[in-house]
Homo-oligomer: A and B are copies of this chain.
């Protein structure tokens, strides 16, 4: 039996199988061994990459040498760069823009084969802090309206060449359409209720409990009501916060904890699945104006994690309509059943 569920933020409908046989589609663990020998992201091969933009490293070690924990470099094949002037122009009916922006790579660990699920808490915290540092820095450029931080793990998730754990940062002069849909939804709700819709969803999910994967003092991991993908997880701050950059140091620790626990669960249940992880943050609104006046009250940053264990077809691309064979309530049962003992991620 299926059910049509509407995402309250974007208005997107999803077809969810609520009594599926729970048979998982073909799982395919990510291969990180194939390129281990000549991986340019491993410690000791710093000269194989572009010079670093910044790094967290041991005191007394020098840039572009070993001794780092997290390292940020420019993407060698950037899809956007800041070497051109920002210019919008028309072409008859059409609009186009110079491809101004930035495209960076955050190497998450010096050690090949490590990822969120098997890194130390301190390491995960450093990665999440590096996200923050790059966002804050890139948003200083007022031409850049949005900074998208995302991660592709595994070929199925679109990761092309290098299996060494890394995230990417792309800054764009326009706000991406998915985020615009979210922003429009949160604004609409705020106008009506003078409350943040994410906050209301969080309160309801806390009370209800059936879609709650995990929680700690500061964060919540939930399987969204209208999950588009099997085992989709969102990580959100429990209290209202529009911008990822507002996160304090103690909060970063809690975020690292729920991150590591969530990825450990996904790793166990889906046997090291390919995934995409995306940070949805508020756009760059300095100077703040117009439609974005209320954004600090109506928007709520969060991470979206989508395991890529199914192929998407024409129906999804053509309609925006997703068919999800695993109900989020069932995914939550599986994820919660994972024992995290011995994983050093219990509080």
Contacts and interface: CB of A to CB of B under 8 A. Distances in A.
B97 A4 contact: yes
Contact of A313 (B10, B91, B97, B157): B157
A73 interface: no
A93 to B, nearest CB: 5
A217 B285 CA distance: 49
- Please indicate which of the listed interface residues A4, A79, A176, A277 has the most CB atoms of chain B within 10 Å of its own CB: A4
Contacts of A276: 313-314, 317-318
Interface of A: 1-6, 8, 10-13, 15, 17, 79-80, 91-99, 148, 150-152, 155-159, 168, 170, 172-174, 176-181, 197, 200-201, 204, 208, 225-226, 276-278, 280, 304, 306, 311-321, 323
Contacts of A304: 318
A320 B176 contact: yes
A56 B104 CA distance: 56
Q: Majority SS of interface residues in chain A? A: mixed
Given A4-B173, A312-B312, A15 B318 contact: no
Nearest to A8: B93
Nearest to A155: B311
Contacts of A172: 4, 13, 321
A282 to B, nearest CB: 14
A8 B95 contact: yes
A280 B315 CA distance: 11
A177 B13 contact: yes
26 contacts: A3-B98, A4-B98, A4-B173, A5-B96, A6-B95, A8-B95, A11-B180, A93-B197, A93-B201, A94-B225, A150-B313, A150-B314, A150-B319, A152-B314, A157-B313, A158-B312, A158-B313, A170-B321, A172-B321, A176-B318, A176-B320, A177-B319, A178-B319, A276-B313, A276-B314, A304-B318
Given A98-B3, A99-B3, A208-B92, A179 B313 contact: no
A91 B157 CA distance: 33
A15 B99 contact: yes
A170 B2 CA distance: 14
Given A8-B94, A8-B95, 14 more contacts: A4-B99, A5-B95, A6-B97, A11-B180, A12-B177, A13-B172, A93-B204, A151-B314, A152-B313, A158-B311, A159-B313, A176-B320, A178-B321, A304-B318
A188 B3 CA distance: 32
Contacts of A93: 8, 197, 200-201, 204
Nearest to A10: B177
Given A6-B95, A8-B95, A97-B3, A315 B148 contact: yes
A158 B170 CA distance: 28
Contacts of A315: 148, 150, 152, 158, 168, 170, 278
A96 B319 contact: no
